[in-house]
Chains A and B, each alone.
Chain A
């Protein structure tokens, strides 16, 4: 199936051998290093702030995120309310801050599910091959046949809306990509000399997988984790926007945008600030994922770029 890498550029499993490193001009190298560094630094700083907001939770918020103040409703941003107030007079800044925690937790647990299940399946499929591989990967193909958000919605239609179910649904949706990424790497590592040597020494399957194979397929998995966190947070926001994810009174960025949509004309701040929060969070995970790819998995980048640069 060609859908496997719809969100990442052609992956490390392309069958071409890596060409020898070509000489590159220093200025280009510096330009790239600077930009990619700057972006990664930006991502790490934003994530750091988010984690602080998530840990502090309500103590960091200037107001109670659910305190209704009908007289002070729909106030534009001011010193008192930097992000304004919503249609019930609740402080938008406090709500955005408090929502960070749930967003990060949902994203992390959902990706945790996908990572655990997907990597296990990928290891087993890639290592044992034959019918085990066939069965597992066909099931993954079936899951891949649904657009991500549609599959999540369908699962929530069965489980019912809510935070826990949203985590499970997003976890299931992103399992196949981990299975595929892992399997592809296992296939190439499986035939390495050290694996064959270990096997001929009588090392058991489980030990072989844990000590010799898993550590050597971690790089693409780490990259995929960062990128998946970005998509998981986007998915959660979309599901909450549709009313299927985080439920009121818990504030969530997605739901805040849904509420803000009705007040676009009178109160732009309601539809802008929660979106900025989602955007900046997702952007940081994406940027960090790309920087990680450059650092951990340079084969695909350099393979392509060395060719481009060698002309």
Chain B
């Protein structure tokens, strides 16, 4: 087990190294002088010199890269070209909004996908199965930003029961927090749930076909018991995996939904950084999301291996 974890850690480290190279290259590849481009019409020689000095653009590339990685490891991602604030602080400010949205979205997704996937696998080939398949097909194809607009149209426009956008921290006012959370969470939950449904259906079908399930059936155990004790328990492993992957995707991939709902999260921050050409913030956000993505995948893989010894000894 320890060997597996170590090997997996080493792999993740290599990928993270590649990620850091790409993130570093982001700024180097910008045509022209990134500081000058970023300042645009607000250019003045003193700010310019100070920002260049702070970003270390005059030093050789390898030194710049090592400085960047060294800084990143100690939690220093430079300062924003725009606000002058440390990037790390900015990112940490935005993390709770994104984290809470991703978790609520995932909750909605599971509430949709687990019943739909399980029923559809249990009654494979039935009308219910086809209905579930078509539903998930539709869910996968709906653009999340369009879904958001439709929800706003219905719940804020026609019914007028939910605020169209904005964010209230949970600690400030739980009721308002929930009201603002419903539409963004449902938006990402539906799309994510559609993907999850397919995987859960496949996992449960797979598990249903196992010999021990047939044995249980031939012993005359009731369906509910077989489902709980023999089928779902085995199907849980792939389901946990894909749920983890979905969570990782949601952490970095809800940019458009955040923009529509004026949600002050990492996605909104990333887009603002792109539009304002605030490269240090962009780099920091991309690095953080990719690192979170890798971390979630790593945890899932290790959990997976802990549950199923075949994986440890397999490859």
Residues of chain A having any CB pair with chain B under 8 Å: 1-3, 6-7, 9-10, 24-25, 28, 31-32, 35, 39, 138-139, 141-142, 145-150, 153-154, 156-158, 160, 230, 234, 237-238, 241-244, 254, 257, 260-261, 264-265, 268, 271-272, 274-275, 278-279, 282-283, 286-287, 290, 304-311
Report the separation of the CA atoms of residues A278 and B141 in the bound assembly, to the nearest whole angstrom.
8
Residues of chain B having any CB pair with chain A under 8 Å: 11, 14-16, 18-19, 21-22, 26, 29-31, 121, 124-127, 130, 133-134, 137-138, 140-146, 149-150, 152-153, 156-157, 164, 195, 198-199, 201-203, 205-206, 208-209, 213-214, 217, 238, 241-242, 244-246, 248-249, 251-253, 255-256, 259-260, 270-271, 273-275, 277, 279, 282, 286, 289-290, 293-294, 297, 300-301, 304
Given A142, A160, A278, which contacts B143 in the complex, CB threshold below 8 Å? A278
Measured between C-beta atoms, what is the minimum distance from B118 to chain A in Å? 12
Q: Which 6 A-B pairs have the closest CB atoms?
A: A307-B209, A275-B146, A142-B18, A147-B253, A28-B125, A283-B141
Report the separation of the CA atoms of residues A139 and B195 in the bound assembly, to the nearest whole angstrom.
26
Q: List 12 A-B contacts (CB under 8 A).
A: A10-B202, A31-B127, A142-B19, A153-B255, A238-B256, A241-B256, A279-B142, A290-B137, A304-B209, A305-B125, A309-B124, A311-B214
Report the separation of the CA atoms of residues A290 and B194 in the bound assembly, to the nearest whole angstrom.
15
Given A145, A153, A268, which contacts B153 in the complex, CB threshold below 8 Å? A268
Contact in complex: A257, B145 (CB < 8 Å): yes
Chain B residues with CB under 8 Å of A243's CB are 275
The verdict on A275 contacting B274 (CB below 8 Å), with A157-B282, A283-B141, A308-B121 known, is no
Total CB contacts across the A-B interface at under 8 A: 198
Chain B residues with CB under 8 Å of A24's CB are 125
Contact in complex: A311, B217 (CB < 8 Å): yes
Task: Contacts A9-B198, A39-B137, A257-B149 known; list 10 others, CB within 8 Å.
Answer: A39-B134, A138-B14, A147-B248, A153-B274, A237-B143, A242-B255, A268-B153, A283-B137, A307-B206, A309-B124
Chain A residues with CB under 8 Å of B248's CB are 3, 147
Chain A residues with CB under 8 Å of B124's CB are 305, 308-309
Measured between C-beta atoms, what is the minimum distance from A30 to chain B in Å? 10
Measured between C-beta atoms, what is the minimum distance from A275 to chain B in Å? 3
Contact in complex: A230, B141 (CB < 8 Å): yes
Minimum CB distance partner of A230 in chain B: B141
Contact in complex: B206, A238 (CB < 8 Å): no
Report the separation of the CA atoms of residues A157 and B274 in the bound assembly, to the nearest whole angstrom.
6
Given B30, B209, B282, B297, which contacts A2 in the complex, CB threshold below 8 Å? B297
Given A2, A157, A271, A282, which contacts B149 in the complex, CB threshold below 8 Å? A271
Chain A residues with CB under 8 Å of B16's CB are 145
Contact in complex: A9, B256 (CB < 8 Å): no
Contact in complex: A10, B297 (CB < 8 Å): no
Given B141, B242, B253, B275, which contacts A279 in the complex, CB threshold below 8 Å? B141
Contact in complex: B141, A150 (CB < 8 Å): no
Minimum CB distance partner of A285 in chain B: B141
Minimum CB distance partner of A153 in chain B: B274
Contact in complex: A268, B141 (CB < 8 Å): no
Report the separation of the CA atoms of residues A150 and B252 in the bound assembly, to the nearest whole angstrom.
7
Given B11, B121, B252, B274, which contacts A146 in the complex, CB threshold below 8 Å? B252
Chain B residues with CB under 8 Å of A308's CB are 121, 124-125, 205, 208-209
Given A145, A260, A306, which contacts B294 in the complex, CB threshold below 8 Å? A145
Chain B residues with CB under 8 Å of A275's CB are 143, 146, 149-150
Measured between C-beta atoms, what is the minimum distance from B34 to chain A in Å? 10
Chain B residues with CB under 8 Å of A7's CB are 140, 195
Measured between C-beta atoms, what is the minimum distance from A11 to chain B in Å? 10
The verdict on A157 contacting B198 (CB below 8 Å), with A39-B137, A260-B149, A264-B153 known, is no
Contact in complex: A147, B271 (CB < 8 Å): no
Report the separation of the CA atoms of residues A242 and B256 in the bound assembly, to the nearest whole angstrom.
7
Chain A residues with CB under 8 Å of B274's CB are 153-154, 156-157, 244
Measured between C-beta atoms, what is the minimum distance from A263 to chain B in Å? 10
Measured between C-beta atoms, what is the minimum distance from B281 to chain A in Å? 11
Residue among B137, B145, B203 with most chain A CB within 10 A: B145
Contact in complex: B205, A305 (CB < 8 Å): yes
Contact in complex: B289, A6 (CB < 8 Å): no
Chain A residues with CB under 8 Å of B22's CB are 142, 154
Measured between C-beta atoms, what is the minimum distance from A144 to chain B in Å? 8
Report the separation of the CA atoms of residues A31 and B164 in the bound assembly, to the nearest whole angstrom.
42
Contact in complex: B152, A264 (CB < 8 Å): yes
Report the separation of the CA atoms of residues A68 and B203 in the bound assembly, to the nearest whole angstrom.
54
Contact in complex: A146, B125 (CB < 8 Å): no
Contact in complex: A264, B286 (CB < 8 Å): no
